[in-house]
Amino acid sequence: MGTSQEEPMSKEPEQSNFEIVPPIILNEDADVIAYPSVEALIRDVELVDVLNQEYEFHDSTGRVLEARVDKKKVSLIPSSRVEADSAVLRGYMLQVLTLRGVQVESLSSAPFGDLVRLLLERKEKKK
């Protein structure tokens, strides 16, 4: 009997117990951009690219954010996966920082959140 009571719970609208911690990272084919908020990022992405899963999203803790589209509106849902130690993602971030003139040698072991904040600072200075 216990299993029949659990099934309806799985059909409830998807929600997450995790919080999104800005800044937010958008990764599009190794081109990594930081945004100060979810709202700023959503204003900048193209709906068709979200639907085609051309982007990866992370918050400043490395938590994977899953994109959802409902009635042509994009939202980001925090997942349970955290990739702050992802060598690939960190490599993309360091590559972008290098292109923006940052000496990255001392940043190879920097905390993920520090790299995200530095990306955001460099993005804002670029404007």
pLDDT tens digits for 68-126? Answer: 999 999 999 999 999 999 999 999 999 999 999 999 888 988 999 999 999 999 886 65
Confidence class for position 15, pLDDT limits 50, 70, 90 = low
> Which one has a higher pLDDT value, 16 or 8?
16
For residue 28, pLDDT beyond 90: yes
Q: What is the DSSP string of 59-96?
A: -TT-EEEEEEEETTEEEEEEEEEE-TT-HHHHHHHHHH
Mean pLDDT of 23-31: 96
> Which one has a higher pLDDT value, 56 or 13?
56
Q: What is the pLDDT of residue 126?
A: 58
CB atoms closer than 10 angstroms to residue 88: 10
What does pTM read for this prediction? Answer: 0.83
- Beta carbons of 121 and 127 less than 8 angstroms apart: no
